[in-house]
Structure 1
Amino acid sequence: MIDWDRFDDAFGPFYHEHKGRRGLRTRLMTGLHLLKHMKGLSDEEACAAWLENPYFQAFCGESHFQHRLPFDRSSMTRWRRRMGTDDLELLLAETIAVAVKTKAVSQRQLERITVDTTVQTKAVAHPTDSHLILRAIEWLNRLAKRHGISLRQSFLRLATRARREVARLLHTGGHKQGLRWLKKMRTWLGRLIRDIRRKIASDPSLEAAFATVLERAERILGQQPSDKNKLYALHAPEVECIGKGKARTRYEFGCKTSIATTNERCKGGQFVLGAMALRGNPYDGHSLTGQIDQVTRLTGTSVTRAYVDRGYRGHKIKRDDLDITISHTRGITSPTIRREMRRRSAIEPVIGHLKEDGLLERNHLAGPEGDATNAILCAAGHNMRLLARWIRILFALLVAVERQPPWPVPTTTLAGGAERKTGMPVWSAAPPA
C-alpha cells in the first residue's frame, strides 16, 4: 500500500546519474528506516535483522533472499544526512496517507488534533563537573598523542583517581574534601590547556586541529553552577537542560520536542500527525503555530480544532478557521468540545510508546539535525506499528469470513412445486461470531 514511487520522485534530485558511485535504491533505504523505527532497533541491529529476515527483505523490494548486505552500516548515516529533515518528513506523510487509504483514519479525524511537548533525551552521561573535567583531559591527551605533541604531564592518572574520590565524598560527610579534589581537577585541566597552547602557538594547522576541543575544554573550565547555556557533553554541545516538573526526574538533558496526534482514537489507534524538535527550549505557546502548520503540510488537511494543556496559555494565535481549546477552561457549552477535551490526556501514553517502543527516549543521532531527524522517524515508526496491527485485524476478519460455511436458507414448498425462501437461515450448530 506504500507509494514507493513517491520517494523516488522526491529523493531523485539528491542523486546524479553518472557522477560518483551508484547510489543505493530509495526503497531499500526508506524501507529499512521505517522498519528500524517500527521495531525500535539501532542501525547495526536493523542491518542484522534485514540480513536474516526474509520479510524485511521483501518489504524493502528484494525478489530473492540476499545472503550479504548490499551496503555498509554507515550508509544509513550518510543517507540521513543527505536527505535532511524536511525531505524525511515525507516518510511520516506517507504513513498517514496509508492510514487514510486503509480507513484506519478518516479525514474528519485529521482536522482535530492534540498537541503536547516532551523531552527527547540525548545519549549522554549525567553531567557532573568532575565527569566533564575528566573527559576534557582525556580528549586533550588523545588529540595530543594523535598529532605527536609531547606534554609536560598528562594528568590522566591523577584525574581518574580524583574523579573517583569526588564521586565518593561529594554527597556524604566529606563534602568539603570532595570539593578540594574538584578544585585540583580544575587546576590540572587549566595547566594542560596552557601547555598545549604554548606548543601549538607557531603552527596554524595544529591550532585549527585543536580549536574545537580547546574551546569546549575552556568552557567547561570556566562555567559556574549558576551560568546559562552551559556545556553538558563534549561530543554533544547542543544538549540543553530542561525541567518538566517531574517528581522522578527533575531535569532531563536533550531537546524539547513537540508532538501532534489525532484527538479521537481511530480504528487503528491514535496516530501521530506531526513531530518537530524545538531548539533553545522555547515556550510551548510559541511553538504551536509551527506544529499546526506542519500537520497541515503533512496531511493535506486544514486543522479546525486543537486541544492543548495549560502550558500553551498565551499562544496569541487568531485564525478564523481554527479553534484552540486549553484544558481546564471554564464556560465550554458545547458537549462535543467537552468530550474531545477529555481525550486530550490520551496523548501522554502515545508519548510513552514513542519513548519505550521507539527511539525517542535516547537519541544517538549527532547534532541538532539528528534531533529533528530522530523525532520525525520515531513518529513514522509509531504509525507503522499501528498500521501493522490494523492490517492484521483486517486480515483476521477477512479469513474468518472466508472460512464460514455456506449456511442453508430454509425454503417452503408452494403449490405447484415452487420453493420460496422464508428468511433466516437454519443454524445446524451455534451461529458464527
Structure 2
Amino acid sequence: MEGDLYKKRIAYPEFVDFYLPFGGRLRADNRWVQMSRIIPWKEIEPRYANSFSKKKGRRAKSVRVALGALIIKEKLNVTDEETIMQIQENPYLQYFLGFESYQEDPIFEASLMVYFRKRLGSEIIAEVNELIAKKFVEKKQSKKSDKKDDSDDDQDNEGQLILDATCIPQDIRFPTDVGLLDDARKKLEGIIDTLYAESGLKKKPRTYRIRARNQYLTFARGRRRTRQQIRKATRQQLQYVRRNLKTVKELIKTVPMSTLSRKEYKDLLVIQKAYDQQMYLYREHKHSIRGKIVSLSQPHVRPIARGKARGAYEFGAKISAAI
C-alpha cells in the first residue's frame, strides 16, 4: 500500500469486542490485557510518527505493534523469531498489540524487530516511562477522589501495586573495553585515510594497523584471559588510539574538517570521549564510569542490570509499567 510512511491510528480495540473465531472470550484479569490499559499508546504515537518521513512509501506498523512486540520479546525472554510465533499463537498478545480479532497468519516478519528497535530510540523510550508514570499517578488520584468512606473499616485499602520493568535491547555485540578500543582504532584509520587523500602529503602517516589488529586477534582468541593479559591488551589498543588521534589532529591543520562526512565527524567526537573514559578507567584500575560508552555507533546505549540466566546485563533503553 502506497501513502504516507506513517499514518496515525486513533482507533483502539475495545476489550469486549475482540473476536475469537474458535469461541470464548478474553479474560479481563490477564496480565497482557491489564498492561495494555496502563501503557498510554495514544500519547506515545505522535512522538513515534514524527520519526518517519513525510514522503510516500510502504506504510509502517503502528507504535502499539512496534513497542508492544519489543515488550513481549523481553518479558518472555525469547528470540525475535520466537516472538513472532508467540504472537501468532496467543490471542492475548494480539490484543496487546491492538488487533480487533484473532489473526491466524504471522503478523509480520521477524526482521522487522530490528527496524522497531532502531525507530524506538532512547528519547522515545524515556518519554514512554514518563507517560506511564504520569498515567499511574492520575489513576491513583482518581481512585482516591471516587473512594467513599467505609465506616466498618478503619484503614483504607487501595489495592495492590504491581511494578515491572523491561529493557528494549539494541543490536550491538557484547561490549568489552578492548573490543571498543579496537573499533575506535579501525574507525580512526578510516578517518586518517580520508584526510590523507586530500592532504597532498607524499608520505602517509603510520598507523601500525596490521600489528594492532594482530595483537587484538591474539587477545580475542584466548579463552582464559588473566587480569594482566586484559590490562596489556587494553594498554596496547589505548596507545594505538592515542597515536591515531594525534595523527588526525595534525592532518586537520592542513585539511579542512569539512573533508570528513557527517558520520566520520560524529565518530571522531564519540571516539575522543570513549578514549578519555577508557584512559581514566585504565589508570584508576576501574571498570565502570558514569555515562560509559559501550558502542561507538550507538553511544546512547547503556548497560542495564537484569540478572537473567543468559546474562547479568542487557544493553539498551529501560521502560517500566505499573498495574
The normalised TM-score by structure 1 is 0.40
Gap change, CA 1:214 and 1:197, over 3 Å in 2: farther
Aligned to 1:41: 78
Q: Tell me if structure 2 keeps the 8 A contact 1:216–1:234.
A: no
Letter paired with 1:362: Y
Matched, 1:24 2:64: no
Q: What is the CA–CA distance in structure 2 between the aligned matches of 1:179 and 1:227, rounded to whole Å?
A: 9
3-state secondary structure, aligned to 2:283: coil
Q: Structure 2 residue aligned with 1:156, among 202, 205, 209?
A: 209
State whether structure 2 residue 243 is matched by structure 1 residue 204. no
Distance 2:74 2:230 in 1: 43
User: Aligned match of 1:193 in 212, 232, 245?
Assistant: 245
Distance in structure 1 (CA, Å) of the matches to 2:77 and 2:251: 47
Q: Which has the larger radius of gyration?
A: 1
Cα distance in 2 for residues equivalent to 1:180 and 1:25: 49
Identify if the C-alpha distance between structure 1 residues 180 and 226 changes in structure 2 by more than 3 Å, giving closer, same or farther. Answer: closer
TM-aligned CA distance change 1:187 to 1:79, over 3 Å: closer
- Aligned identity (percent) is 14
Match status 1:233 vs 2:294: yes
- 1:185-239 residue CA offsets vs partner (Å, 9 max, x unmatched): 5443333222223333432222834532441354167434317748563537678
**Deviation readout 1:354-385 (Å, 9 max, x if unpaired):** 6338x9843232xxxx1x33xx2xx67xx8xx
Contact 1:132 1:234 in 2 (8 A): yes
Equivalent position amino acid for 1:75 in 2: F
SS in 2 for 1:364: strand
User: Partner of 1:355 in structure 2?
Assistant: 307
State how 1:30-429 maps to structure 2 within 5 Å.
Answer: 30-42=67-79, 44-45=80-81, 48-49=84-85, 52-53=88-89, 55=91, 56-57=93-94, 59-60=96-97, 61=99, 63=101, 64-67=103-106, 69=108, 72-73=112-113, 74-79=115-120, 81=122, 83-88=124-129, 107-108=157-158, 110=160, 125=174, 127-128=176-177, 130-144=178-192, 147=194, 149=196, 152-163=205-216, 171=226, 185-201=237-253, 202-205=255-258, 206=260, 208-216=265-273, 218-219=275-276, 222-223=279-280, 224-226=282-284, 229=289, 231=292, 233-235=294-296, 254-255=303-304, 355-356=307-308, 361-365=312-316, 370=317, 372-373=318-319, 376=320
| Mapped contact 1:133–1:185 kept (Cα < 8 A) | yes
Question: Post-superposition shift, 1:39?
Answer: 1.0
Asked if the contact 1:140–1:213 (Cα under 8 Å) also holds between the matched residues in 2, the reply is no
1:164 to 1:149, Cα distance in 2 relative to 1, 3 A: same
> 2-side partners of 1:164 and 1:158: how far apart?
10
CA contact (8 A) 1:190 1:221 kept: no
The 1:192/1:76 distance shift into structure 2, 3 A limit, reads closer
Query: Scaled by the length of structure 2, what TM-score is found?
Result: 0.51
Native 8 Å contact 2:182 2:216 kept in 1: yes
Cα distance between partner residues in 2 of 1:180 and 1:5: 53
Contact kept, 8 Å, 1:170 with 1:178, in 2: the verdict is: yes
Contact 2:304 2:315 in 1 (8 A): no
- Give the distance between the partners of 1:182 and 1:29, measured in 2 at CA: 39
Q: Cα gap change, 1:32/1:185 in structure 2, threshold over 3 Å: closer, same or farther?
A: closer
CA distance in 1, matches of 2:226, 2:269: 33
Q: Deviations over 1:225-280 (max 9, x none)?
A: 3177485635376788xxxxxxxxxxxxx357xxxxxxxxxxxxxxxxxxxxxxxx
Instruction: Check 1:160–1:81 CA distance in 2 against 1; reply closer, same or farther (3 A cut).
Output: closer
The 1:200/1:255 distance shift into structure 2, 3 A limit, reads same
| Superimposed CA distance per residue, residues 32-55 of structure 1 (whole angstroms, 9 cap, x where no aligned partner) | 24422331135x336643675364
Give the whole-Å Cα distance in 1 for the aligned partners of 2:82 and 2:189.
35
| Cα distance in 2 for residues equivalent to 1:180 and 1:37 | 37
> Letter of the aligned partner of 2:160 in structure 1?
L
Q: Provide structure 2 residue ranges, at least 5 long, that are not aligned to the other structure.
A: 1-27, 140-155, 164-168, 198-203
